Amino acid sequence: MPNWGGGNKCSACRGTVYHAEEVQCDGKSFHKCCFLCMVCRKGLDSTTVSIHDQEIYCKSCYGKKYGPKGYGYGQGAGTLNMDRGERLGIKPEETQTHKPTTNPNPSKFAQKFGGSDKCARCGDSVYAAEKIMGAGKPWHKNCFRCAKCGKSLESTTQTEKDGEIYCKACYAKNFGPKGFGYGQGAGALVHAQ
């Protein structure tokens, strides 16, 4: 017997969805006004929806909750804010404090033939896509920092001493020449007399 005047049930509110207001997604029906992101409640359409375990999200919230994490996975200007995803149930990682070089396996032979290269700073595996060479050792891009001040370095801005890397300013301050005329100012002259 035909169902006169009825319609499918909305997957969000469980109310009846009539044909004129129906949006279908993944075999389910929604009211146009109920077809919203589960997190930010933005209205969705076929180009902005992402589905995960029967739940619908906008691309941005889906990426924050289920997308890849780590360096290089930014999402445009949205990554410039301080939103770390707590409202999505994501626990923020603790920020790492700067650690001096602690490579447990400094042998080039062991690094070469004992699996992937190990980062000279943290000792974790360094894969080709993220590897930076400095002082003859592999580093993660995030670990390629001055041993004194923690400033991020590039191959052109780093200096090396005893297997450790430094920014040019810290290297000059700690290992460069000392005295009047070498960045010590007039105070060095007064103290020298």
Query: Is residue 154 in a domain?
Result: yes
Query: Is residue 142 in a domain?
Result: yes
CA distances in angstroms from 61 to 81, 82, 190, listed in the order given: 14, 15, 62
Number of domains forming the structure of the chain: 2
Query: Is residue 185 in a domain?
Result: no
Q: What is the CATH number of the domain that holds 44?
A: 2.10.110.10
Query: Is residue 40 in a domain?
Result: yes
Give which of 88, 86, 59 is closest to 75, Cα–Cα: 59
Q: For every one of its 193 residues, what pLDDT tens digit does the chain have, with 9 covering 90 and above?
A: 455 667 889 988 999 988 888 888 888 888 889 999 988 988 988 888 888 888 888 988 888 887 776 555 555 544 445 555 565 555 555 545 555 555 555 455 444 444 578 888 888 888 888 888 888 888 888 888 898 898 888 877 888 888 888 888 888 888 877 666 555 544 444 444 4
In the chain, the N- to C-terminal Cα span, in Å, equals 109
- Whole-model pTM: value is 0.36
Task: Answer for the pair 31, 17: CB distance below 8 angstroms, yes or no.
Answer: yes
Single out the residue in 68, 83, 110 at which a domain terminates. Answer: 68
- What is the domain extent for residue 39? 8-68
Query: Is residue 181 in a domain?
Result: no
CA-to-CA distance for 42 and 75, rounded, in angstroms? 18
